[in-house]
Structures are given as structure tokens and as C-alpha cells.
Amino acid sequence: MRVFFFGLVFLVYNGLCVYIGMRVSGLVRFFLPGIKAPFFWIPFALLCYAFVFANVFRSGRASLWQFGTFWIAIFVYLLLSLVLFDLARLLLWVCGKHIAGPRFNAICAGAALCLCALVIVYGTLHVRSIHTVNYQVSITGQGKGLRIALISDLHIGPTVDRVWIARVVDTINRAEPDMVCMAGDIFDGNMDIVLDPAGITSELRRIHAPLGVYACLGNHDVDRISLFQGGGNERITDFLREAGVVVLQDEVRPIGENLYLAGRLDARPIGMSGSRKSAAELFAGLEQDRVLIVLDHQPTQFTQIGEAGADLVLCGHTHRGQLFPANLITRSIFKRAGGTHYGHWQGGRTEGRPRGLQAVVTSGAGIWGPPLRVATNSEVAVIDVSFVP
């Protein structure tokens, strides 16, 4: 079944690449009529598979990785632009206006390239602005208020470097949180591609939070051996502990006198096997009069977490889609799963918890793949928690 799925993806992707190549080659031939086909199609094929090559050739691949991830964004927006212009041409044909020929094809391809370029430039500039989004959450419990800074999905690697992390840390410190929570995908699947690890460690140690900095791991927090083979996460956890981050892997920590913080193992770490405790198993034996906040990378088990007695769950993973129109897809997927792909979510009320389980899902402070965001923000979520008797 898995082979069939990847085979289907391979065929579809290749078909779409051929469609893009044929449309763009028409523009190239219009301006360079004497160009031979191999001089276009060979470089184009290498571009289409740059991301795959970056995963296959693991050593010294930072530049190839960045080049390949840019192609993902170019592929998406060039495909959408070309389809848009072809639909317009089809509409004109239905209306009786037959417009064709090399000149018209070149104009359509050129316009699609320009539109794609505008979106790519905007997304590349926009992604590096770290926004702050604020939430007010009321929980039944005792004690004074609590401010939490939530970040996720940094994907530290060739693109998210020390400079990027410094901007995130500055944004966190300006919020003056009591506690900082990292909801997974802190790294991008291979510690060998992290640029200036000592510098990143020093930046993370600049975080000021009186109650501490805590993290759970995500599906990308795996020190992968190859494209198809996972690894462990020992170097990742050692790195985080050196940076002053408390890593919770199916663990619960008491915070002060009125609060528990739990961190769950990820549901599907890439290339790794094993199982995590259920929410009920993890929370068994906890004092019922304390507030329970849970870090869980993927927002997929709100019902189980709520039934097990949690008050608030903090998640990431979705990136809010990162690129339009993927944000529309993630919205539908996680709504059908009984949760949300972004923002403040509130479940049904139950006995003993009149406000029900609540959740905050952040779009993440970094990126995966293409170093750009369109219709989403890189952000730090600042959550002001008030306790109400």
C-alpha cells in the first residue's frame, strides 16, 4: 500500500512538472528559437529534483537544501498561475474567442512567472517578521495569573539560523513571560545541517522566564540517517538541555503550588517506532485540584486529553498551512479531527471543569521547506492565563 501511494505521488508530481516545463519552454523558445531541447529540459529536471538530491546526499547539503526548498514554493505558485491562465483561455474559448499561437502562449507563461515571482518575493520578506499574538484564557483553579510564551516549529537548520533564533528570543523576552513552552519540531530532522550550534545555544539561553523553559519534541525532532531511515533524538535532547530547556517526554512536572505541566511524546516521529502513553496513563495519580497544562506537538487528540483531566493543551505542527492555499487544507483536516489548525479552541464543558478543555495552536516561529510564508505569520503566542474559583 505504501509503495502504491508513493508511486502515485511520483507519477502525479512528474506529470505536473512536465506540464509546467512545457508551458515555460514555450516562453523560452519564443525568445530563443534556436535553443535545443536538452539545454532546457536537463536543468529543469535537476531543479525539479533538487529537494530529493538534498535528502539523498546528506553531507554538505545546506545550500542544495535551500535551493531545493525554494523550488517547492516556485512549483506551487507557478502551477497555480499557469492553471489560472489556462482556465481563462478555456473560458474565452467557450465564449467563442479562439486565442492561440506561440505569442499568446509566451504571454501567458511570462505573466504566470511574474505573478509567481511577486508571491515568492513577498513571502520571503514576510516570513522573517516575528509577530506576537495574544490570548486570554480563564481556567478553573487557584493561584495568581500566569503568562506563557508559546513557540513551535522552529525547524532549526540551514534556513533558521542564529539570527532567526535571536529575533524569536527578543520577541519572547519583550513579552516578559513567566514560562516559555516549545511545542515541538525545534529541529529539522538532521543535527549535522545546523549552522552555528554554539551560537544558537547561547541565544536560547538568553530566554528569561522565571518558571523555566520547557519543550516536547515533534515529528521532525529526529536525527535522521537518510531520506528513508530515521535515527534517534539523543543529540537533540542533549542540545536542548545544554541550552537550558527542560525536555518533557511523556513526563509531568509540578510548577509551583497549583500547576502541573505535562509533555507528551510525539504521535508519529519520522522514521522512529515506539509508542507513547495514553493521556489517561500519563495523567494518572495527579492531584485533581491542580491545573494541568499539556504540551502535545500535534493537535489531534483533544477529546482524549480532555477526558483525562487536562485544562489546557498547547500545540503546533500545522504551521497554519504556511503557504496559501495549504492553510485552507489544514483548516479542514484538523476541524474534521475535532480540533483546530490554529488559534484558541474550546471544547465542551464537563463536570468539574465548567469551562471545558481549552487549546491554543500556534502557526510556529519558523518554517519547514520553502523559506517563506503566504497568508500566515511566523509568531510567538503569548497566553495570559487567569485562574477562576
Boundary (domain end) residue, out of 126, 145, 172: 126
- Cell numbers at 254, concatenated: 509540578
One digit per residue, the tens of pLDDT, for the chain of length 389 reads 667 777 888 899 999 999 999 999 988 888 888 888 888 999 999 889 887 776 666 544 566 777 788 899 999 999 999 999 889 888 888 887 777 778 888 888 899 999 999 999 999 999 999 999 999 999 988 888 999 999 999 999 888 999 999 999 999 999 999 999 999 999 988 888 888 999 999 999 999 999 999 999 999 998 876 555 567 889 999 999 999 999 999 999 999 888 999 999 998 887 676 788 999 999 999 988 899 999 999 999 999 999 999 999 999 999 999 999 999 999 999 998 888 999 999 986 655 555 689 999 999 999 998 999 999 999 999 999 999 88
Contact 223, 271 (CB under 8 A): no
CA distance 153 to 318: 9
What pLDDT score was predicted for residue 52? Answer: 77
Query: What is the longest distance spanned by two Cα atoms in the chain?
Result: 79
CA distance 132 to 183: 16
Shared-domain flag, residues 117 and 139? no
Shared-domain flag, residues 78 and 140? no
**Number of domains, the chain:** 2
Shared-domain flag, residues 119 and 231? no
Shared-domain flag, residues 23 and 103? yes
Shared-domain flag, residues 82 and 139? no
CA distance 313 to 294: 5
Shared-domain flag, residues 360 and 264? yes
Contact 322, 77 (CB under 8 A): no
Give the predicted TM-score (pTM) of the model: 0.90
Shared-domain flag, residues 238 and 265? yes
Evaluated on CA atoms 150, 153, 158, 159, the torsion sign reads negative
Residue numbers of the domain that contains 193: 130-388
Shared-domain flag, residues 91 and 231? no
Boundary (domain end) residue, out of 87, 106, 126: 126
Shared-domain flag, residues 384 and 360? yes
Boundary (domain end) residue, out of 126, 153, 173: 126
Shared-domain flag, residues 100 and 247? no
Shared-domain flag, residues 269 and 319? yes
Shared-domain flag, residues 97 and 134? no
CATH number where 374 lies: 3.60.21.10
